[in-house]
A and B are shown apart, each in its own frame.
Chain A
Amino acid sequence: MTYSYYPGCTLRTKAKKLDTYARRSAEALGINLEEIEQWQCCGGVYPSVSDEIATRLSSVRTLAQAKKAGNELLTVCSACHNVLKRTNADIISDADFNFRANNYLELDERYNGETKVVHYIEMLRDAVGFDELKKKVVNPFKGKKIAAYYGCLLLRPGNVMQFDDPENPSIMEDLIRALGGEPVIYPFRNECCGGYITLEDKSLAQKRSNKVLASAQEKGADMVITACPLCMYNLVKNGTEHDLPVYYFTELLADALGVKQEGEGQDNE
């Protein structure tokens, strides 16, 4: 299976581990990731209102590139996934945005939402299959209590993201089980870490991140996994009241599949 792969800015710099282990694990699982040529930033704007056009254009370009390649578009970063998937939905449902975005971009062929946007974890579930994945695990996380942190962007708005039940998700827990770990279900796994507010009001981000970690710790977690570089940053840098280790899910995946090299990535990001 071949996907058009969209890493996004952060995965090239601050979140290299998220990217590296995603690629390495995909290779081990026989999934071919073709990086989109000359990709640009997704726009980073968690689009909320209907009259913002320009900030969503780069996403439309990316989506159109995947369409040209004839592949589904695979993302790992929660933020990129949210922006791309929602922009794609807007192209389909908002005729005004569709018209204006297409006119502005002057693509060879008008883009009307043909590309399917897939998150890496969805690919693991649907293309690989959690049962198949389990068979390929060589270093299972036996006895490890792992708390999946979903945050906001993978789940909401639920009617567009359709990633999982936004109030009671289970896909990352299923992944943890496939990797041999014991998932910890805790109430704040779908509550915000503070996001970009860390630049505006650090104390708010600290409050939010500590609350998430406290909730995971109360339910007995040994570690937390996430798919989002900004969640990672907040939980580690702002959630300082708790010393729960936080990992990208791809790092655990690579480790379980035996494609993480010795001495590599012992610390958190």
Chain B
Amino acid sequence: MQRIGVFVCWCGSNIAATVDVKAVAEAAKGQPGVVFATDYQYMCSESGQTILKDAIKEYGLTGVVICSCSPRMHEATFRKAAESAGLNPYMVEIANIREQCSWIHKDMEVATEKAIILAKAAIAKVQLNKPLVAGESEVVKRALVIGGGIAGIQTALDIAEAGYKVDIVEKQPTIGGKMAQLDKTFPTLDCAACILTPKMVDVAAHENVTIYSYSEVVDVKGFVGNFTVQIKKKPRYINENLCTGCGACTEKCPMKKQPNEFNMGFDKRGAIYIPFAQAVPKLPVIDADACLMLKNGKCGLCSKICEAHAIDYTQKEEIIEERYGAIVVATGFNQIKPTQFEEYAYNTCPDVVTSLEYERLMNAAGPTKGHLQRPSDGQRPKTIVFIQCVGSRGDSCREKSYCSKICCMYTAKHAMLTKDHYPDTDIHVFYIDIRTPGKNFDEFYRRAVEQYGVDYIKGMVGKVYEENGKVMVQGSDLIDNKQITIAADMVVLASAVEPDPSARSLGTMLTASMDTNDFFTEAHAKLRPVESPTAGVFLSGMCQGPKDIPETVSQAGAAAVKVIGLLAKDKLKNNPCVAACNQSVCNGCSQCANVCPYGAITYVEKEIRTPEVREVRRVAEVNEAVCQGCGACTVTCPSSAMDLKGFTNRQIMAEVDAICR
């Protein structure tokens, strides 16, 4: 019989307002094995921990139950405290009476009854706990950053600067991401290219950084400190070692009618192209869907021109396998094409564009060399209407539920830049709310109103339509209580941002959790904002939620620090709650090995000796360094040979019995 101490936390009023904590402690006292029970305001505080440590010593406790918040929150805290008092940390059990009890109940009587039941279950379990000792595993001193936008670049640079090797995997032919497409950046209006392209060069030149451009992660195995990742390198049809990046091949390509993605389709590129002049790596790529040579073997012009003989039509995709200690997700975002919002006429009217498209039309390196021309006829627009919150903040099936966060600021930026170039332009902005929380942000927006005379209209647009060559914008002006129609030359839609579509499959590969919008979730919204709940996986930039460049760069640095902290360790303590096989009853059926997601189970021929049998049999063996303790094998095993340490079948049944008693 264990000597068990029970500690009931109030969590301030979080638990105590709904659960009668004294009654829970009293009830615990009567349970078998319980020699001490008490309650305290904040068990996680220093004085709370002292109460725990003192009790362990004074009462010679061999098991501890803490009735408090979720084990995700403070299990590690209490285990550490118990260990310092000489108790094996795995003799500590948490009864979650906050998230699973006080927070979801209103009635004190009911909540108290449930808290007592949860406490009894934990007490029953700890009776069967056994001391466990964590093993150790080595840390691979190399990091992987998935995504080569500003988030990925910054994270990689910071990790590399600390002296660790880091690889960037970017699915596009060049790094740079969305920021490379921007003209100027708010609130200081420095040119995006001027601050980004040097970083692109730095990261590419860094001795610790390897860039896999035009590549994708296709498989992830392993665990924190030791991931094995497969990277698919898509064929560029260019020999990277020979190519000088001169670009002669791109000029002669006869297939010049391909929409140029970098310029949002406003101009054309060849089948062989370099995405933009400052691309890194500065290598061309052949678009296999457009190239005549690759489609039907007729052409080969680029190959004939290339003096370096770098064109290689036979190139095949390549799978690279590499091991990493840590993985950073920096997959970024896309601006939605507002095709589901045809009241704004995006499909039917060429002069209705998204803000990212407008960004290219304003950009000195863009398709119009920075001269603002409307797409339909190349005329300069004299009246421009900006519509904010297109597809954001909604509740119907069409919209995103969240605020896209960056639109208020970039719309003010667009308005001012336009006015700077063409002061006689009339600019109207339809807004629902102006959201400018950030350093110098509101001042920036006010400048648009006060100094530039941009007309901000509190209201929303109901319909955009084309009439007599004008883009008519019908909307409400809620301050004047009017319905207005503006005859505009161009309309710019601040359409919502969304996570890059590649994030979903990557999330599955990494077993990293995502919210309903496919943004990666952080381990703790406030205290662990750059870590995913999956150990060894970190988050950087828009993949975690909408954010602007300064925030992205901050988060990128923070993610790098977490990675460095991990890679600085030579060994990591393993979770000792792993599977174990009772080989005397194992019948070697292989079902456990089939369901194991980590490849932790192997089969060995072994002599089995029991009082009844003595034979050589094929039995399962668990590699404890690889097992992550998910428990899939234990429920699959038809002969109950598999069991999970710390969560044995007996322990779980004891908990169930205690609940049902």
Q: Which residues of A contact B (CB under 8 A)?
A: 159, 165, 167-168, 185, 187-188, 191, 215, 218
Contacts and interface: CB of A to CB of B under 8 A. Distances in A.
A168 B463 contact: no
A213 to B, nearest CB: 13
A259 B87 CA distance: 94
Nearest to B467: A218
Nearest to A159: B397
13 contacts: A159-B397, A167-B341, A167-B342, A167-B343, A168-B347, A168-B348, A185-B348, A187-B345, A187-B348, A187-B465, A187-B467, A187-B472, A215-B465
A257 to B, nearest CB: 30
B468 interface: yes
A185 B345 CA distance: 12
A13 to B, nearest CB: 35
Contacts of A159: 397
A215 B467 contact: yes
A107 to B, nearest CB: 33
A187 B397 CA distance: 24
A115 to B, nearest CB: 25
A206 B467 CA distance: 20
Contacts of B348: 168, 185, 187
B463 A187 contact: yes
Nearest to B396: A159
Interface in B2-58: none
Contacts of A218: 467-468
Given A159-B397, A168-B348, A187-B465, 7 more contacts: A168-B347, A187-B463, A187-B467, A187-B472, A188-B465, A191-B463, A218-B467
Interface in B356-396: none
B306 to A, nearest CB: 46
A165 B467 CA distance: 21
Interface of B: 341-343, 345, 347-348, 397, 463, 465-468, 472
Nearest to B465: A187
A56 to B, nearest CB: 24
A252 to B, nearest CB: 24
B337 to A, nearest CB: 13
A201 B408 CA distance: 41
Nearest to B347: A168
Contacts of B397: 159
Given A168-B347, A168-B348, A187 B342 contact: no
A165 B466 CA distance: 19
A187 B347 contact: no
A218 B465 CA distance: 12
A100 B638 CA distance: 52
Nearest to A167: B342
Contacts of B341: 167
Most buried by B among A168, A191, A218: A168
A154 to B, nearest CB: 16
A218 B345 CA distance: 17
A191 B342 CA distance: 13
A218 to B, nearest CB: 6
Contacts of A188: 465
B475 to A, nearest CB: 15
Query: Which one of A159, A165, A187 has the highest number of Cβ atoms from chain B below 10 Å of its Cβ?
Result: A187
Contacts of A167: 341-343
A185 B465 CA distance: 11
A210 to B, nearest CB: 14
B332 to A, nearest CB: 29
Nearest to B349: A187
A168 B341 CA distance: 9
A187 B343 CA distance: 9
Given A187-B466, A188-B465, A165 B342 contact: yes
A17 B397 CA distance: 39
A188 B474 CA distance: 12
A191 B343 CA distance: 11
Contacts of B465: 187-188, 215
A124 to B, nearest CB: 23
Contacts of A187: 345, 348, 463, 465-467, 472
A167 B472 CA distance: 16
B342 A168 contact: yes
Contacts of B347: 168
Nearest to A185: B348
Contacts of B345: 187
Contacts of A168: 342, 347-348
B377 to A, nearest CB: 17
A239 to B, nearest CB: 17
A191 B463 CA distance: 10
B575 to A, nearest CB: 47
Nearest to A188: B465
A215 B345 CA distance: 15
B396 to A, nearest CB: 8
Nearest to A169: B342
Contacts of B342: 165, 167-168
Nearest to A215: B467
Nearest to B341: A167
B466 to A, nearest CB: 6
Contacts of A165: 342
Nearest to B397: A159
B340 to A, nearest CB: 8
Contacts of A185: 348
Contacts of B343: 167
A268 B345 CA distance: 32
A27 to B, nearest CB: 36
A56 B469 CA distance: 45
A168 B465 CA distance: 11
B338 to A, nearest CB: 11
